[in-house]
Structure 1
């Protein structure tokens, strides 16, 4: 919609009401602030929810891969052949054997349920960026060295250099019954994945040590794999799943964490709808301010009409005046939203100090920090939605102004 110099001059005049129209200016300012806050709320909440899902996915996948092949009875027969078939499957970028078993661990009188993981040397090395203390290089087969999660270390009170005891209830049989197997392991490293449940449970050790602890011989329990596209993991692994039917079951990340990610998806849609309603309510302020402006400028509109201004010109003037308020509010909302996201951690800590409440408890939120990831497409949708709502809010008062009859107005002036 292109405005002539005359139309643009009138539109600017109406966007900045005079001294006698301060109330109209106040309502217009409130309209701008309302749109700004609505857009900012949408940007902040959707970016945080996107970040929460992305961070949770990245941290879970970084340790568990995109899928797990698990043998019936907890063991895979001829696992070397199965591993070779998995590595030859098109779309699979990495596959490695894995042992995982829930057990118990004690240290200095404290006991915790743990999840013992037996990994290959290459998989253990992938934890290096997550290490907070110690050295993963010490995790050598037969050395009885382990790496534990940061929350588990805190709960047990263990540090690098301490020795924790891991219990396997399925020990050796004796004339007096089954004696639980207990082995002491030297804590060589402490890592932090960033997911509370994982950091609270995992004890990582070399594959051979896990086989010795669990008395499994050379067998493994599962194969962990990564694919080229996690969103299409079910399609990539469909041929492999048919080939392994009756021998093992393939479980991808969607199935392993289905309840969590489905809940996030539903909450994401619900929050977008609710916050969109806030933006819709905000643009009603634009509608009310324009209606007041039209009523206040009825005489001016009539004079303009008698001077030759067309209905189309008046329509464009008031649409422009209202739309500019919405556009300014949208831009300000985007700026406010990005500023909030950039300083989100200091803001969270400030609110915690002021209220005395722990707003981000990792044991509840899964992640140790408030995440955020802005989606350019989603930001564009939010901006376009706010602009469309603003445009629609201008139509009624603009048509009302354009339909003003100068004869009827000026007759009583």
Structure 2
């Protein structure tokens, strides 16, 4: 919208506080409207960024340990896993196919017993896994070698068992020796070589990592593995590979993608994202009504001025442009302020959470409830653009009625008794 010189002067004059009590009150209402728009935009940016960060962080952690798909046998064992892995690697879009053994067992140390998820991996795969290598808190994964009877455990599991690098823990498997009185559970002692923190509560509280050969010995699996973990170039389009992967193991097992493995939590996150966007958009809608009310009061206060301007040659279109500009400017400044507030909050999000926790004495980010140990964030430029455009359009629409009322002012009726 292009304004000529006098229209710009009038719009600037109406944006600034006047000398009268009424004009100062209108300016205060306008600033409240600006602040409301800023808070609405900031809230949307913050919440959507946190939700995106939560999804991305959770996906990165789960995919880093579980892959984008898994191939597993009907009985939980794959005897010809080398052939399956080689065939999976030839599927277009597949980047890796790694053998794994995963079995829920019991762990005991210092008189404490906890349920654990034992995972056997090839030593090379352990040392090349960025989620594991980047999360080592004590000890070293280099100490994990076949036959060493060493394991790496999650930090929270270590706390539960009172274990640390160099201490002993025992893994208890129900598949043991057959005796006249029944099956005796198999109990094997291992030395803790390292502790790690993935950042996902369930993993840190249960995972026990050990070399593939040691896991096969513990579970008496011979040369078999439990699953083949598959990773692809584009996880969001993994349906392209699932048909071929299912064909590879047809009749012997199934192929399951990451959506099916984590369907409940990711669907819940998606629903929550949409719900939060709709609910928080109401803040912007309320702010827009504030802009509408402030402009209506401004038009009422400036009726005489508008009539004089009309008698001096100002057009109806010119008056509409002035008030549309005033309202849109308030909305635009609110949006810019909201972007700044949102960016600052996201940058200092974890210190802010820590300060609030210190002040209230409450754990606002309990990882046992929220899975992750820190507040994540990932800002999507497309979503920010949608938020900005939504706020701009609503701000513009709120100016149309007051601008039309100003343009329809009849100078003869207003100035009849002047």
Equivalence for 1:134: 139
Equivalence for 2:11: 11
SS of the residue corresponding to residue 238 of structure 2 reads helix
Equivalence for 1:95: 97
2:87–2:248: 8 Å Cα contact kept in structure 1? no
Residue 243 of structure 1: CA displacement?
A: 3.4
Equivalence for 2:374: 369
- After superposition, residues 191-230 of structure 1 pair within 5 angstroms as 191-230=196-235
Listed one character per residue, the Cα deviations across residues 259-314 of structure 1 (whole Å, up to 9, x for unaligned) are: 00000000000000000111011111100000000000000000000000000000
Residue 77 of structure 1: CA displacement?
A: 3.1
Distance 1:355 1:129 in 2: 32
- After superposition, residues 297-376 of structure 1 pair within 5 angstroms as 297-376=302-381
Distance 1:326 1:205 in 2: 58
Task: Find the partner of 1:243 among 241, 248, 259.
Answer: 248
Task: Find the partner of 1:34 among 27, 33, 36.
Answer: 36
Equivalence for 1:272: 277
SS of the residue corresponding to residue 19 of structure 1 reads coil
Equivalence for 1:295: 300
SS of the residue corresponding to residue 237 of structure 1 reads helix
SS of the residue corresponding to residue 102 of structure 2 reads strand
Residue 253 of structure 1: CA displacement?
A: 0.7
Which residues of structure 1 form unaligned runs of 5+? none
Task: Find the partner of 2:118 among 116, 130, 141.
Answer: 116
2:84–2:248: 8 Å Cα contact kept in structure 1? no
Equivalence for 1:2: 2
Distance 2:245 2:51 in 1: 34
Root mean square deviation, CA, Å: 0.8
SS of the residue corresponding to residue 74 of structure 1 reads coil
Which portions of structure 1, spanning 4 or more consecutive aligned residues, are displaced by more than 4 angstroms? none
Asked if 1:71 is matched to 2:73, the reply is yes
Equivalence for 1:22: 24
Asked if 1:184 is matched to 2:189, the reply is yes
Normalised to the residue count of structure 1, the TM-score between the two structures is 0.99
Distance 1:330 1:177 in 2: 72
Normalised to the residue count of structure 2, the TM-score between the two structures is 0.98
Distance 1:154 1:412 in 2: 86
